[in-house]
Structure formats: structure tokens, C-alpha cells
Amino acid sequence: MQLKLVAGNSAGTVTAYCLSSQGPTHDEIDFEFLGNLSGDPYIVHTNVFTQGKGNREQQFYLWFDPTRNFHTYSIVWISQQIIFLVDNTPIRVFKNGESIGVPFPKNQPMKIYSSLWNADDWATRGGLVKADWTKAPFTAYYRGFNVQTCTGSCTSSVSGRTWQNQELDAYSRRRLRWVQKNFMISNYCWTDIDIDIDQWCRRTNHHLQPHLRISLSLSLSFFHFQTHILFFKPNTLSLHLITWACPLSLLRLISKSLIFYLFSPNHF
């Protein structure tokens, strides 16, 4: 499917393109595009539901403005894996993990759905930014819809291999790593981490200044995976730092380095 997304202030809107079956135990494969304020980037929200259960979100920024031109968004759904692609560049691969007890959507036929809907209770900054209805109508454009189905040894347009044996080639694997390193902003697989800042400061002999309170949290939420630093001064500053997936020990090292920087005399 080729899409050109809502231009301008699209906060609160979601442009969707998905596969879904019906019923309380439905399967679903989602491409959703979360609108934002003018000048702020769209977020590509992907999800996989199996037997009515989702919570397998991965989110990405795009490396282009998706409102200026049409771009191609594709889903390859075969029994071994699901591949999400943008302009033929893979951004996500969801492997079949049934052998280790992870359900995989392969037993229910799914229909294709597209929509543009109001989701300002969650879509933009977790619902903090609402849709501005003075900017309506919100318009997204769809074209070039194409479906390839195969039950035999058909050739894939993505890899040139047969559908049933499709794997990413070396170039596509490099592109996948490039996207996930530079543009992934959340992943349901990332580990939740809670750090007791006050306890760490006492243990390392750091002291909070009276006018400063730090709340440092590395957490995976439905909307963001980021470090929040809140300065309670006359002019309140909220700074958001994106934190990428990495080993727990490295996350702790990053956190402590950040705290050391904040409390260093030269910083103030």
C-alpha cells in the first residue's frame, strides 16, 4: 500500500493500515501512524495480535517526511515470520516462536483494513496533546494497493526467494539493523528498570541541591521508552532523552554517568 499521511498539525489522529480477523480471539498485524504537532515527526506504531492478545508494540521514527510524498508500506506474512517494510526496507521482523511457546498468527484468515481515526486519548504524547479540530478535515491518501497471495512456490518481490522459504538477504539485514539502531524508539522486549536515585546519591555521597529534584526513570511504557529528567525551578524544564535497547549493566552505567554529569559542579 502507498500512503501519504496527514500534513500539518495531525496530533491525535491515527492513520491505520492493518490485517485483522474477527472475534475476541482475533489475530491482527498493524501499521499505525501516530500524528503529531506541526514540525514534529510521525511515529510508526507496529503491533502483532495473536488469539486476541497484543502488547507486542515496536515504534519507529521515519527517515523522511511521510506527508510530502507517497511511500510504500508492506507486510510480508508467512508461516515462519512477519516482516514490516517501508519502501522495501525492513523495519521489523516478528519470528514464529511457537517452538518456545510464543503464539503466532497463522490459523485465522485476515481481512485488510485502512482507516483514519481520532485517537487523541493516547496517540500523541500519551494523550497529552489533543486533536485540534479547527484544522479539520484531516486527510490521508492511499493508492497502489497490491496483494500477493501464494500457497505454492511463488517468488517473493522482497527477496526473490519462494514465499515459504523467505529470509532477508545480507543487504536487507543491514538495512534492518540500520533502522533499528537509528530510528527505533520503543520495543516491547526492552527491560523495565527502576532506579532509586536517592539511595544511589546517599551511597555515592552526592547531595541534592535544595531547588532540584531529579526523577530518573528508565521504563518501557505503551507510548515511550525514555529517560525523564524534571527540574523544579522557577522555569520548569522537561527534558526527554531517548534510550535505546542495551544490556542492563550498560543502562545502569548510562544512568550513573548522567547523574554524575547533573551533579558535577561545572554543570551548574
Q: What is the pLDDT of residues 14-47, one digit of tens each?
A: 999 999 999 999 999 999 999 999 889 999 999 9
At 237, the pLDDT band (50, 70, 90 cuts) reads very low
Q: Is the peptide bond before 103 cis (omega within 30 degrees of 0)?
A: no
The length of the chain is: 268
Q: Which amino acid is at 186?
A: S
Whether omega for the bond prior to residue 137 falls within 30 degrees of 0, making it cis, is yes
List the domain boundaries for the chain: 2-187, 197-267
Q: Are 43 and 60 in contact (CB under 8 A)?
A: yes
Contact (Cβ atoms closer than 8 angstroms) between residue 126 and residue 224: yes
pLDDT at 231: 33
How far is the C-alpha of 172 from the C-alpha of 150, rounded, in Å? Answer: 22
Residue 32 catalytic?
A: yes
Distances (CA, A) of 266 to 6, 123, 240, 258: 45, 39, 22, 14
pLDDT of residue 149: 81
* 28 among known catalytic residues: yes
Cell of 154: 511463488
If one compares 248 and 154, the residue with the highest pLDDT of the two is: 154
For domain 2-187, which CATH number applies: 2.60.120.200, 3.30.420.40, 1.10.490.10, 3.40.640.10? 2.60.120.200
Tell me what the pLDDT averaged over the chain comes to. Answer: 77
Residue 235 has pLDDT above 80, yes or no: no
pLDDT in tens, 121-145: 999 999 999 999 999 999 999 999 9
Residue 77 burial by Cβ neighbours in a 10 Å radius (0-12, 13-18, 19+) = middle
CA distance 38 to 135: 11
Highest mean pLDDT (candidates 91-105, 184-198, 248-262): 91-105
| Per-residue pLDDT tens digits for 86-128 | 999 999 999 999 999 999 999 999 999 999 999 999 999 999 9
Cα–Cα distance list, 136 to 10, 120, 133 (Å)? 9, 14, 5
- Provide the pLDDT confidence category of residue 160 given band limits of 50, 70 and 90: low
Among residues 176, 220, 243, 228, the alpha carbon closest in space to that of 57 is found at 220
Pick the catalytic residue from 32, 57, 98, 167: 32
pTM: 0.71
Q: Are strands 13-20 and 111-118 parallel, antiparallel or unpaired?
A: antiparallel
pLDDT surpasses 50 at 193? no
Q: What is the C-alpha to C-alpha distance for residues 95 and 82, in angstroms, rounded to an integer?
A: 6
Q: Which of 28, 57, 98, 167 is catalytic?
A: 28
